[in-house]
Chain A
């Protein structure tokens, strides 16, 4: 792509100013600065321009202008993403959906809500609470992250095993295409005619269209939720217990695991009452009818004791339940207090591989001389190892990134994936070459081209070019096999 000339920039500024109020078109460096990164701040880049529309018609016009000028566009919600998916392009326009903040309709009769993309995840549940309804996916950033970004990343949270990811909890999207056309995908119905484009759009990381409206499914607030905390003197035993709970025919609403370093950091930070000397804890949340929860608590307590738990505690009331969860939900900032920097990974593995993966990560931690705090969505095998490092120490960031890459490759080796819920973005683009072969990557590019033939929507993210994989492969021989051997090496 050619370098942006100041002519092009001036032309765009003029076109946008005819469309938007002056304060909604940002072009000065100090105004662009807040948009230079998302939640993964090791990647930073200033966009050419930022636009902040507040209507669908404006988004359509912006897309038409950019399409005509062949300028790439990166859409952005709250910027809480953890994979650099909203990283701007220096020759591109950053399209902020921050002004789309309205809840358009809550329909309790049909258990659904229609909202603008800039509505915060938690705000939907808060608005639905009056009807005893809620929106199930609850990423830990739910106070700040927006529903548009949740759809783009197919966000998860702690309740995925029972209630699914974003893809399972939305009904309809309105998107603006790269040409500026408004289309409706899905419907206010349980399914809709044609291909399941709703599934394809969810998690597409802003590569296929700009989400301008979302209709979500709401669920009845369960009659009761209860959490059981179990301590273990061995991480592997905790991992076994996770499988044993599932084998007992129970699908917990949440099943979370933390290791010693994470427990201690959380305990020091929020005093959740976690056993400080434990090697691992499990938090098992059960929800449903009163009778169901009572029965399941008894079963889970038995299973945990049989799995060798050193202590099993049931939250005695709602306050204690909230405190147990507070420790888990503040695990990331808690780790942030004990280390200058940390790097959060996001692989998913089959649950049975948990003991092996934990052991290998511990060995690698020694090898790289970098501590790891482990926080898992254990129920669905989604790992969040936090690598502790100090970016001010020369070479530590590079060592951390290499360690992180090896963790992701380990996840692929045991039959898992490089990302469970944070997305590929910029961060894991090279690991996509490990998880997928050329034919699959080519198919992804063909799907992208069906929506965006000139690759103007968030180009360079999520799916690597085959050329990039060949170069990555040349540096990185996996299991003695050169990936993509059919490609020429440059």
Chain B
């Protein structure tokens, strides 16, 4: 079944290369608004769906890229396992391929690792219409360059992901969220400090004067850790972390452009006007602001970080932080090495890719 669809996609790509046509790769379309506007005919991979292999004892799941993320997570949950990077869906029809191509990770990222950290292997269709396999289904594999992790966050500009193998982990037995009143400085100090403490923390966030800390692990270890940290237990019904992950908290209900600013976690509050939400222990900061692109990028860089125009404003400009010259050249050469005719997602990431 899959090989027939593989062949179809392969032929479509080979024909497009001949005809000079471009493709916009689409799974469930849940993240179409992310990145820059990109034209090109739709290359639909949603039919390319299904779990190919999953043995809980191996801690690995292999599925076709069009498989709905929900099906992956439901299947893992049945065996008490999970995708530990807590991927955002941003829509009902999110697929595995789109999740990895966009490389987004949820609140657990600083403690468990990112989407790319859990990629073990992939099947990829490059711009020459060649189907290739990189990595594999094992935890440790250093044969050849790490092409499969390179695909995470490449926004489909290097090729069409056909199949992915990801490492999975057991779900924690117990989880509790603590909430206390705080101010930005104190919250940053506490949250970033927790990154260096041997406590079972797997989420920390600050906004609107409240600091939220999630503890997960064995029941007793969560109870013990609770005694060492400030705050009242937050009801599970609040679904705080899911709503944070999906940008459904009231903070995100805003017409101003939404910026994602990544800095060293202990960085002091950045001197930028607007509303802030701090996630990832202070390492990922969301800013809702009308400040100019130049100002935001300049301040983010002064703090050793970078800024992405995540949602809203002009999607034809530089949405991602522009790259320094030698790096930009390297990106163009790499793009050409995978997709010489620039068929896939032209301009989705950077105008020149």
Contacts and interface: CB of A to CB of B under 8 A. Distances in A.
Contacts of A200: 145-147, 149-150
B200 A348 contact: no
Interface string A282-304: 00000011111011100000000
Given A183-B330, A195-B331, A437-B132, A165 B224 contact: no
B116 A444 contact: no
A132 interface: yes
Interface centre among B58, B59, B196, B280 (most CB of A within 10 A): B196
Interface of A: 107-112, 131-133, 153-154, 156, 160-161, 164-165, 167-168, 177, 181, 183-185, 187-197, 199-200, 202-204, 208, 218, 220-223, 243-244, 246-247, 249-251, 288-292, 294-296, 348-352, 377, 380-382, 415-424, 428, 432, 435-437, 439-440, 443-444, 446-451, 462-463
Interface of B: 55-60, 80, 103, 109-110, 113-114, 116-117, 126, 130-134, 136-147, 149-150, 152-154, 158, 169-171, 173, 192-193, 195-200, 217-218, 220-221, 223-225, 262-266, 280, 283-284, 304-306, 308, 320-324, 326-327, 330-331, 333-334, 336-338, 349-350
Nearest to B134: A440
Contacts of B147: 200, 443-444, 447
Given A189-B306, A351-B58, 13 more contacts: A177-B326, A188-B304, A189-B283, A190-B110, A199-B149, A289-B218, A350-B60, A382-B139, A417-B142, A417-B143, A424-B142, A439-B132, A450-B336
B142 A154 contact: yes
A490 B192 CA distance: 61
Given A189-B304, A415-B136, A432 B198 contact: no
A423 B142 CA distance: 6
A251 B58 CA distance: 12
Given A416-B136, A420-B142, A451 B330 contact: yes
Nearest to B189: A109
B221 A381 contact: no
Nearest to A222: B198
Give the 6 A-B CB pairs with smallest separation, nearest first: A199-B149, A420-B140, A446-B337, A380-B139, A450-B333, A291-B220
A350 B153 contact: no
Contact of A449 (B137, B197, B337): B337
Given A168-B113, A183-B327, A251-B169, A443 B58 contact: no
Contacts of B139: 160-161, 348, 380-382
Contacts of A416: 136, 138
Given A110-B264, A183-B326, A190 B283 contact: yes
Given A432-B144, A447-B337, A221 B306 contact: no
Given A110-B265, A183-B327, A194-B331, A249 B80 contact: yes
B338 A446 contact: yes
A419 B136 CA distance: 12
A189 B264 contact: yes
Contacts of B136: 415-417
Contact of A296 (B80, B218, B280): B218
Contacts of A181: 326
Nearest to A155: B142
A220 B201 CA distance: 12
Nearest to B321: A193
B132 A191 contact: no
B263 to A, nearest CB: 6
A451 B330 CA distance: 7
A430 to B, nearest CB: 12
Nearest to B154: A195
Given A188-B304, A351-B58, A380 B137 contact: no
A165 B138 CA distance: 13
Residue with the greatest number of chain B CB neighbours at <10 A, chosen from A107, A250, A350? A350
B262 A191 contact: yes
Contacts of B132: 437, 439-440, 443
Contacts of B265: 109-111
A443 B326 CA distance: 22
Contacts of A422: 142
Contacts of A288: 198, 200, 217, 221
B221 to A, nearest CB: 4
A295 B337 contact: no
Contacts of A177: 326
Contacts of A208: 145
B138 A190 contact: no
A381 B140 contact: yes
Contacts of A432: 143-144
Contact of A377 (B140, B337, B338): B140
A190 B109 contact: yes
A247 B57 contact: yes
A196 B116 contact: yes
Given A161-B139, A195-B334, A449-B337, A443 B196 contact: no
A450 B329 CA distance: 9
Given A421-B140, A437-B132, A246 B192 contact: no
Contact of A156 (B134, B140, B305, B338): B140
Contacts of B158: 195
Given A110-B192, A111-B195, A291-B221, A352 B57 contact: yes
Contacts of A428: 143
Contacts of A377: 140
Nearest to A181: B326
Contacts of B198: 132, 220-223, 288-289
B225 A246 contact: no
B60 to A, nearest CB: 8
5 contacts: A132-B196, A417-B138, A423-B142, A437-B133, A443-B338
B261 to A, nearest CB: 10
Contacts of B200: 288-289, 292
A153 B173 CA distance: 36
